[in-house]
Amino acid sequence: MTWVNDPNPALVVLIVALLAPLVTVILGFWDTRNTAGAAVATTAAAFAAAVWGAWNGDASYSVVWSETWGIRFEIHLDGLASMYAVLATGIGLLIAVYASGYMPLHRHHTGKRRADDVRFFGFLLLFMAAMVGLVMSQDLILLFVFWDLTAIASYFLIGYDSEEEESRTAALMALLVTGVSAVGVLVGALLLWSEYRTFSLPLLFQSAEPSTTVTWAVSLILVGALAKSAQFPLHFWLPRAMAAPTPVSAYLHSAAMVAAGVFLIGRIYPLVSLDTRVLDALIVIGGASMVVGGLVALTRDVFKQVLAYSTISQYGYVVVMFGIGGEYGVAGATFYVIAHAIAKSALFMTAGAVTEATGSARLADVGGLWRRMPWLAVGSAMASAGLMALPFTIGFFKDELFFAGADGRGQLIQWFAVAGATLSFAYIARFWAGIFLGPRQGDVQPVPASLVIPVGVLGALTVLGGIWVEPFRWLAEQAARVSFGEELEINLAYHLDTRTENLMALSVYGLGAVVLLTGRWWHQPVERLVKIGNRIGPARGYALALYGMNRLSDSIHDFEVRDLRSRIATILIPSGALVLLAVIYSPTQDTFRFTSIESGDLPLLLMLGVAAASGVMVVIPQDHLRMALTLSGVGFSLAVVYALLGAPDVALVAVLIETIFTVVFIGILVLIPRPILRYERNLRAPRIRLGRDAIIAFIAGSVAFVVVWSALSRPSASTTVIGRHIEQSPLAHGYDVVTVILADFRGFDTMGEITVIAIAFVGILSLMRAGRLR
Amino acid sequence: MSDRTVTTTVLTQVAARILLIPIFVVAIGIMIKGYVDIGDGFSAGVIASLGVALQVMVFGPEELTRLPVIQRAPKGTFLGLLIALLTAFVPAVRGQPLMTHWPPAGEAAIHFGTVEFITAVAFDVGVFLVVFGFGVGVTATLARAQERKSSMAGLFSRPGDAGEAGERS
């Protein structure tokens, strides 16, 4: 029992996390009243495992997944993984507590049943488990699997209230934006594989050199990462996703789903930092998100919208910091994620609690609640202070690192950093003050303690982090070392002097206060700007693309189901076009040539002539029987051609197939009522359709001719293969090469073919016996 | 297919009857000799089912019930598929690539006369059963459908056409 005595922390963390949704769902199905309790307990276990794993850390586990493709199930609980696992499970635990109080109220509003809780908690914990798996993955394919698993879980969570159209649209949008961009991750992984023949990140970090391929691969992966982190211009899904129940928003959109994006940047950072252009692009994208998110957040009225845009803006910071790079950039980005996740999820939970208490979700409808909900006010005040980067909160240090990083990158970035921080100071202050200060507005109903306690805990953590920052610093340092790839130290302390960081922080407080106080002057213009952005922004592009693709799909479908002719055409036309493209784009050297005709070829030509003549005869109007027989005439003459070419096996099969085909054909003709046959025989197509059909037939025939010509006149590369087959046939106990090929060398093809025969047989039986002819 | 009612002549009937056994013998021969000479399980299956089709065309679908081998042939399709699948996937269980035949290349095989017992032949037998079952099954289905159609011919055609499918009447 060495496993029990000396467990592998990486495996333990992953297994405990994966068990959480499983156990919760099983207990929930057993008795739906268990669900919330089971969710809290299993998440607590996962959190305990993650903390224990972070402490005992640096364990890895690796096993071959697919040898042929070099994919390994490779996980490593390094510093980066530990940090995100602790965040995902820790905040997950508080979310589970919060949800256990929130979901009964939500059920009450939406008329859902208790059994729906099982679905909710199941997907919430599945998300957590996928997140834990994602952060530990060391293999790009494994990482992609967990990545998509988070997308799927998020789809069901965002669309939890599936009876509302808004939820469904939002869920689909989140799935499409993050799922389609996830293809970028996969393509990037394949590009890296094509260059270095490995999916393993540690190996890639060792061997990757700056090159165009690597830059492309990294850029593609970053598209996926940035879309997941809701960065401009793929940010628009996040505000829509606020249609989800509040615990989902609080979890996915502060600590988990959006964090997965920046996690991925941190995970592949050694590759990202190979090309400074990629880093510069990160600064631009992150900066744009900072500004766009910040400006919009200042004008929103619905709580969760303010927070959603603030999340876009604040992950913009993280991306900018990764773009700035260097010791401070990476450390700052990593630390920022911790500080932001703690504080932002508290604010989301505050928003949910206030909405439950007052029945209102808008800043305009509430105010002065601090007297009525003092605990909530204090808890969220601490969290807000954290995001506003006030001293004695963990947030102060996040901005310190940001400013320190910007310090080395010139005045422009420095001003930008101050502007971004000012925006975030302003919108967070506006959010908190809008709810808890000002004239009293709104009726307050008591809310369960479980809606307030998590906010208090997170608020306390925010302040604790400002006073005793060591545990957070340690966690971030371990993580940043992994991203940075080298030794790195984060030093966090308060300095009472006039260093640049302090001056920048002071100017942020001053400017932020100015922005807040001058609201009535800038509110209108910014609002107008946002409206224009909505009209021409990327969200509109998404809507147009979705609408266009729906239209395209509908029109193809309508054409396809019209009749048998169009059904066949939808299959044959694209495949014919593809084959033609292949012929056009394959090298034409030594193809399309004629060889001389020898006198011995005369019988062959004669039989080919018969085949061609029969082919022409088929098109001449005649009765069905004659048509069937002429058609089989083509086959029989081709069989003779095979025989003349010295392929008796093929000739035999051709003769037999043609015979049985003709018999079955005639058998079917007999089944068709005589008047119908007679009617069809006398049917004449209109002249215009004859012309059209002739053109189509001419094109199709020409394409087929070109394809066959190019294939047959190409110097055969498979001669050697055939030679080897002939050589090895005796070894395989055979002397008839064709049979040995069919049963042995290419036996698997034959296997597929007879499976098709058996399936077709079942189809025929069910159609003829149970179908229309019954 | 013409408007006259066709009846098979005694000559056809005798020829069909006499030919059945030789057709089967040829089919089995082709299958067994497959590894040394022209033909394989596929051709053998088609030949055998053509033999059966000939009987059905001449004597009608009741003919299918007279020989147990023919009666069970359609079910044999799935037995054949199973045999083929087994030869393909049993090696996988033993850790070899799919479709690895036994005995391995170059090693001596158990043989009876010149007939060698190797798994490739078992696979070929599977192919034969699939094709034979398919041929017989389709023939039978078509023939039965025609019988049913002629029994309700009035639904589809004018009275004058009623006899066309009942070739043996």
Q: What percent of chain A has pLDDT over 90?
A: 7
Whether A656 and chain B come into contact, CB under 8 Å, resolves to yes
Residue B136 distance to chain A (closest CA, Å): 10
**More confidently predicted of A742 and A50:** A50
Nearest CB to A663; choose among B41, B53, B123: B53
Closest residue by Cα to residue A15 from A65, A66, A75: A75
CB A307 within 8 A of CB A345: no
Q: What percent of chain A has pLDDT over 70?
A: 97
DSSP string of A613-646? HHHHHHHS---HHHHHHHHHHHHHHHHHHHHHTT
Whether A444 and chain B come into contact, CB under 8 Å, resolves to no
Q: Parse chain B into domains and list their residue ranges.
A: 10-155
Whether B43 and chain A come into contact, CB under 8 Å, resolves to yes
Q: Which chain A residues have a beta carbon less than 8 Å from that of B129? A: none
Q: Identify from A657, A658, A660 which residue to disrupt to test chain B contact, counting B C-beta atoms within 10 A and taking the largest count.
A: A660
Whether A671 and chain B come into contact, CB under 8 Å, resolves to yes
Q: Band the pLDDT of B79: cuts 50, 70, 90.
A: very high
| Average pLDDT for A30-59 | 85
Q: Which chain A residues have a beta carbon less than 8 Å from that of B165? A: 670
Supply the mean pLDDT for chain A: 84
Residues in chain B, how many? 169
A–B CB contacts, 8 A cutoff, strictly below: 164
φ, ψ for residue A63, nearest 5 deg: -145, 145
Q: Identify from A622, A678, A735, A739 which residue to disrupt to test chain B contact, counting B C-beta atoms within 10 A and taking the largest count.
A: A739
For residue B25, the Cα-to-chain-centroid distance in whole angstroms is: 13
How many other β-carbons are positioned within 10 Å of the β-carbon of residue B12?
14
Q: Do B77 and A761 touch (CB under 8 A)?
A: yes
Q: Do B146 and A667 touch (CB under 8 A)?
A: yes
| Average pLDDT for A33-52 | 87
DSSP string of A370-410? TTTSHHHHHHHHHHHHHHTT-TTSHHHHHHHHHHHHHHTTH
Residues A321-354: tens digit of each pLDDT: 888 877 888 888 888 888 888 888 888 888 888 8
Q: Which chain A residues have a beta carbon less than 8 Å from that of B103? A: 733
Q: Band the pLDDT of A39: cuts 50, 70, 90.
A: confident
The pLDDT value recorded for residue A465 is 82
Closest residue by Cα to residue A625 from A667, A654, A685: A667
Question: What is the 3-state composition of chain B as percent helix, strand, coil, each rounded to the nearest 5?
Answer: 70, 5, 25
φ, ψ for residue A497, nearest 5 deg: -145, -175
Q: Band the pLDDT of A129: cuts 50, 70, 90.
A: very high
Q: What percent of chain B has pLDDT over 70?
A: 82
Find out whether the peptide bond into A21 is cis, omega within 30 degrees of 0. Answer: no
Between CA A447 and CA B160 the distance in angstroms is: 87
Q: Which chain B residues have a beta carbon less than 8 Å from that of A765? A: 74, 137, 141
Q: Do B42 and A663 touch (CB under 8 A)?
A: no
Whether B152 and chain A come into contact, CB under 8 Å, resolves to no
Residue B161 distance to chain A (closest CA, Å): 7
**More confidently predicted of A753 and B154:** A753
Whether A372 and chain B come into contact, CB under 8 Å, resolves to no
The pLDDT value recorded for residue A464 is 86
Residue A638 distance to chain B (closest CA, Å): 17
Which residues 6+ apart lie within 8 Å of A188 measured at CB?
A140, A216, A217, A218, A219, A220, A221, A224
Whether A115 and chain B come into contact, CB under 8 Å, resolves to no
Q: Do A669 and B1 touch (CB under 8 A)?
A: yes
Q: Do B133 and A732 touch (CB under 8 A)?
A: no
Q: Which chain A residues have a beta carbon less than 8 Å from that of B85? A: 751
Buried b / exposed e across A349-363, counting CB within 10 Å, b at 16+? Answer: bbbbbbbbbbebbbb
| Average pLDDT for A621-640 | 87
Nearest CB to A649; choose among B36, B39, B158: B39
Q: Which chain A residues have a beta carbon less than 8 Å from that of B158? A: 675
Residue A648 distance to chain B (closest CA, Å): 7
Chain B residues 57-86 within an 8 A CB cutoff of chain A: 57, 74, 77-78, 80-81, 84-85
Whether B38 and chain A come into contact, CB under 8 Å, resolves to yes
Q: Identify from B50, B85, B132, B141 which residue to disrupt to test chain A contact, counting A C-beta atoms within 10 A and taking the largest count.
A: B141
Q: Which chain A residues have a beta carbon less than 8 Å from that of B74? A: 761, 765
Nearest CB to A673; choose among B137, B143, B157: B157
Nearest CB to A744; choose among B49, B101, B145: B101
| Average pLDDT for A106-121 | 82
Whether A652 and chain B come into contact, CB under 8 Å, resolves to yes
Q: Which chain B residues have a beta carbon less than 8 Å from that of A676? A: 156
Which residue of B lies nearest to A624 if distances are taken between CA atoms? B1
Q: Band the pLDDT of A756: cuts 50, 70, 90.
A: very high
φ, ψ for residue A766, nearest 5 deg: -70, -35
Residues B18-60: tens digit of each pLDDT: 999 999 999 988 888 877 777 788 899 999 999 999 988 888 8
Closest residue by Cα to residue A202 from A50, A75, A57, A54: A75
Residue B47 distance to chain A (closest CA, Å): 7
CB A722 within 8 A of CB A715: no
**Alpha carbon separation from A366 to A363, A372, A523, A765 (Å, rounded):** 6, 12, 19, 70
Whether B130 and chain A come into contact, CB under 8 Å, resolves to yes
Q: Which of A412-416, A440-444, A716-720 has the lowest mean pLDDT?
A: A716-720
Between CA A593 and CA A602 the distance in angstroms is: 19
Q: Band the pLDDT of A774: cuts 50, 70, 90.
A: very low
Q: Which chain A residues have a beta carbon less than 8 Å from that of B146? A: 667, 670-671
Residues A192-249: tens digit of each pLDDT: 888 888 888 888 888 888 888 888 889 999 999 999 888 888 888 888 888 888 888 8
In the predicted structure, residue B2 carries a pLDDT above the cut 50: no
In the predicted structure, residue B112 carries a pLDDT above the cut 80: no
Residue B116 distance to chain A (closest CA, Å): 8
Whether A44 and chain B come into contact, CB under 8 Å, resolves to no
**Alpha carbon separation from A439 to A371, A436, A444, A716 (Å, rounded):** 11, 9, 14, 88
Sign of CA dihedral A399, A402, A404, A407: negative
Residues in chain A, how many? 774
Q: Identify from A68, A626, A674, A759 which residue to disrupt to test chain B contact, counting B C-beta atoms within 10 A and taking the largest count.
A: A674
Q: Band the pLDDT of B80: cuts 50, 70, 90.
A: very high
The pLDDT value recorded for residue A187 is 92
Q: Do B101 and A666 touch (CB under 8 A)?
A: no
Between CA A673 and CA A624 the distance in angstroms is: 12
Residues A456-467: tens digit of each pLDDT: 888 888 888 888
Which residue of B lies nearest to A734 if distances are taken between CA atoms? B35
Whether A517 and chain B come into contact, CB under 8 Å, resolves to no
Residue A730 distance to chain B (closest CA, Å): 8
The pLDDT value recorded for residue A718 is 59
Q: Which H/E stretch holds residue A71?
A: strand A71-77
Q: Band the pLDDT of A436: cuts 50, 70, 90.
A: confident
Residue A131 distance to chain B (closest CA, Å): 35
Q: Which chain B residues have a beta carbon less than 8 Å from that of A659? A: 46, 50
Q: Identify from A656, A658, A772 which residue to disrupt to test chain B contact, counting B C-beta atoms within 10 A and taking the largest count.
A: A656
